[in-house]
Structure 1
Amino acid sequence: MRFQARGVALINPVEITSASVQRGDVIQIGGQACRVSDLFQLRGGAKRLRFESGELLTMHARTRLVALRTTRRW
């Protein structure tokens, strides 16, 4: 007999750019995990990320980072 949990959230590492970053993504910066709480579009395809802790990070159009993203399985 198999049991499948419903509503399970999985955490997957994904490569993100300024075009694909989302609220809720967790990015590790300087050994500290930071969750994105807000995004601001800038010129040239860049975005300014605001983290829950209040820090800001500017991602330029060609910046690539690895983030942890929660995906839900129903």
Structure 2
Amino acid sequence: MRGWAPSGALASNVEITSTNVQRGDVIQIGGKPCRVADLFQLPGGAKRLLFESGELLTMHSRTRLIALRMMRGGDSFRAFPPPHHRR
């Protein structure tokens, strides 16, 4: 997340659950911001979040967290560009 700053975008803190978490949401865990790169549906309404750092977090159906979500014109969008991998 270095070297890029959003312009014209509004950041909003939103309460997320396993039903409304989105790719691009930034969750602070242990004082470190972690951006959701991918989501996997699990049984019982749970979701496994894969962060760009490669770490995993399982959100159960009753888990509630606060995330930073970028907004533009009232609609959320992918605020942070995906990482570029060299081949």
Question: What is the TM-score normalised by the length of structure 2?
Answer: 0.75
Question: Among the aligned pairs, what percent are the same residue?
Answer: 74
SS in 2 for 1:38: strand
The number of residues matched between the two structures is 68
Q: Which amino acid aligns with 1:54?
A: G
Query: Higher RCO, 1 or 2 (CA under 8 Å, sep at least 6)?
Result: 1
User: What are structure 2's unaligned runs of at least 5 residues?
Assistant: 1-6, 75-87
For 1:4, the equivalent position in structure 2 comes to none
For 2:42, the equivalent position in structure 1 comes to 42
More strand by share: 1
Within a 5 Å distance, the mapping from 1:18-29 to structure 2 comes to: 18-29=18-29
Distance 1:16 1:73 in 2: 20
User: What are structure 1's unaligned runs of at least 5 residues?
Assistant: 1-6
Distance 2:58 2:39 in 1: 10
Within a 5 Å distance, the mapping from 1:32-71 to structure 2 comes to: 32-71=32-71
Show structure 1 runs of 4+ deviating over 2 A. Answer: none
Alpha-carbon offset, residue 8 of structure 1: 1.4
Question: What is the TM-score normalised by the length of structure 1?
Answer: 0.88
Distance 1:23 1:73 in 2: 18
Q: Which amino acid aligns with 1:64?
A: R
The Cα offsets for residues 3-60 of structure 1, whole Å up to 9 and x where unpaired, read as xxxx711000000000000000000000100000000000000000000000000000
